[in-house]
Amino acid sequence: MNKNSMIMELRCYDEKVELSTSATKLTEMFAADPGLPGVLLSDKDRIIGAISRESFQEYMSRPYSLELAAKRKIEYLLKYVYISDLFVFSNTLIVEAATQALARETSRFREPLIIMLTPIKCKLVSITELLGAYAKISQINHQLLEETNLQLTEANENLELASGKDKTTGLGNDALFKSYLLKKWSKSLLKRDWLSVILLEINLLQKDLGRYDRLALNGCLRKVSSILLESLDELTDTAFYLDRNKFAIIMENSNTIKAGNLSKNISEKIRQIELENFETKAKKNLSLNLGVACIKPNQGDNPDNLLNSAEECLHQSKIIGENLTIVDDISSRDSQRLVNKTYIEKALL
């Protein structure tokens, strides 16, 4: 079942009677098949309409109708019973047929539709069957629309990410980082989920840059970006390269424990990277500092506070010494930064 499904794909009925037949024949036909929605009416083999079970039963419930019907032909009933006359072609789409059926007067809403196969051959479809199929198609179309919108959103994000990538590291740049932070903030606010920002600064790249070959420096940057990408959960985490020695990570649904553990894991791997002095050929391992801020945002909170907190944690870790991580949960300032102390101790070499 899809938006291009036609009405002939539904369950149809082809029971018919001539107008010259006794009205008791209709009583027998409806009694023999409780699921029969109606009967086609023909005048010398030409279909003129249909009488529904509902309309026939409504007439038969009137006083003396049973006695009168036993003595009369069906054509007599045409004066008192509504005859369904909504004809549709067999290749009519279900959506179009349902639209026509719903446009009828309220009192005729439940009447069956007549499907024209040929000028002299027709079938019936019940309104219940038609609207049931219409509802399924609407649901499918809604799901397809949601999937399409999701694909478009992902495609736009991928395009945005591709256009905002740093050529050396392949990661998103500073402008893209700030744009993503706003988007993820709105999402976390809506879902009441945690959101974390990790700022990571490579110290060795900041000191005596002239002693190291540019290719070697770029190689280190690529190694750092590879470690970040390998360590992140691609469904919830995104890494960025902000400037010559600074990286950032945005983590969705991540509290201080999860963000702190990831920072520790990344720090251990990056400290294994060596950079060679092209003058002395001496090799030195990279050192770094990390600042982590986490929040479960509420209305009135500001994403700038999250970023500023991460910057403050990074700054404080650099003051204390290399290879340190400071974590701050800005959702609970009353904790007097006890969480931070825990992660400082874990990060010490």
Please give the pLDDT value at position 141. Answer: 85
pLDDT of 158 above 80? no
Is the pLDDT higher at 224 or at 154? 224
pLDDT of 258 above 90? yes
Proportion of the chain above pLDDT 90, given as a percent: 36
Cα separation, 206 vs 220, whole angstroms: 13
CATH architecture, domain defined by 7-134: Roll (3.10)
Give the least confident one: 56-70, 175-189, 222-236, 287-301. 56-70
Q: Which amino acid is at 126?
A: S
Give the strand pairing for 283-285 and 246-252: unpaired
pLDDT of 95 above 80? yes
CATH superfamily membership of 164-347: Reverse transcriptase/Diguanylate cyclase domain (3.30.70.270)
pLDDT, mean over the chain: 84
Q: Integer distance in angstroms from the first to the last C-alpha of the chain?
A: 63
Cα separation, 314 vs 293, whole angstroms: 10
pLDDT tens sequence across 69-87: 667 888 887 888 888 888 9
Read off the tokens for 345.
Answer: 């101790």
Instruction: Find out whether 86 and 7 touch, Cβ atoms under 8 Å.
Output: no
| Cα 120 to Cα 38, 45, 46, 170, distances in angstroms | 18, 7, 6, 69
Please give the pLDDT value at position 67. Answer: 73
pTM recorded for the entire structure: 0.53
- Region 340-349: mean pLDDT is 42
Q: Residue 213 belongs to what H/E stretch? A: none
Residue 147: Cβ within 10 Å count:
10
Cα separation, 333 vs 301, whole angstroms: 13
Instruction: Find out whether 225 and 170 touch, Cβ atoms under 8 Å.
Output: yes
- Region 300-307: mean pLDDT is 91
* Domain residue limits, the chain: 7-134, 164-347
Cα separation, 13 vs 23, whole angstroms: 19
Please give the pLDDT value at position 162. Answer: 60
Is the pLDDT higher at 282 or at 135? 135
Cα separation, 188 vs 179, whole angstroms: 15
Is the pLDDT higher at 164 or at 151? 151
Buried b (16+ CB within 10 A) or exposed e, 182-205: eebbeebbeeebbbbbbbbbbebb
